[in-house]
Amino acid sequence: MYYSAVLANIINGDQMLITIIRTVILYIFVVIAVRLMGKRQLSDLQPSELVVTLLIADIASIPMENTDTPMLSGIIPTLILVACEITVSVIMMKNSRFRNAVCGVPVVVIENGEILRKQMRKLRMTTEDLCIQLRQQGVFSIGDVDYCIVETNGRLSVLVKPEKQNPTAEDMNIEIADTGIDAVVINDGEYHEASMRLSNTNKKELNNILKKNNTKLKDVFIMTYNKNGEYNIIKKD
């Protein structure tokens, strides 16, 4: 009886280890698969991309939950889905009609300040839904809107009336120096090569700045830099 219990514990431990290993492998594989489909946030996914993402999640969970199921039963369907999505994406780039059929087309719901109720009924969008999304775009009065378009990913593109727009530097004949992007060139004591290229700098120049500020690389939490040579250093606590 004692040996049976010990054997059962060993078997259960082995199954748990196998489950953990399979889960890690499938996790890495799914991350790579989603990465192949492109960089998109969930809210930016087109309908076909969202469907593929949900299917991949369901398919990958089957081999994780059931160790008797071969891992290939999760890997092969995922590869097929990714291949289909990439193929569909390529076709959509070349054929606008096909893209419109799969993703739909943008719908104008406010035109020249007038709400198009027919278009809103077509989208099954209520005025409350419209006002909520307008507020999320920083527009708190529907009367300020000149044009409003519902994009294929469900987000709103809003153009407020000219008299409600903030004046730009060009409108006021003010020249503003182009500083470029304040890129994070050092993060947690490590250089970021891509950010250095973006801000036209290099390690030697950054080292000189750190030396001038009596700061060591390992003590830097964040350092930003732009192409005009302006920088900001935040040290670690």
User: Average pLDDT by consecutive 10-residue portion of the chain (237 residues)?
Assistant: 46 64 76 67 64 78 74 80 83 83 86 92 90 91 92 88 84 78 89 89 92 92 90 89
- Determine contact, residues 206/191, Cβ cutoff 8 Å: yes
3-state secondary structure of 221: strand
Name 18's bridge partners.
none
CA proximity to 160, closest of 141, 133, 178: 141
- pLDDT, residue 30, reads 75
- pLDDT, residue 237, reads 78
- pLDDT, residue 37, reads 66
| CB-count exposure of residue 14 (10 Å: 0-12, 13-18, 19+) | exposed
3-state secondary structure of 77: helix
- pLDDT, residue 38, reads 63
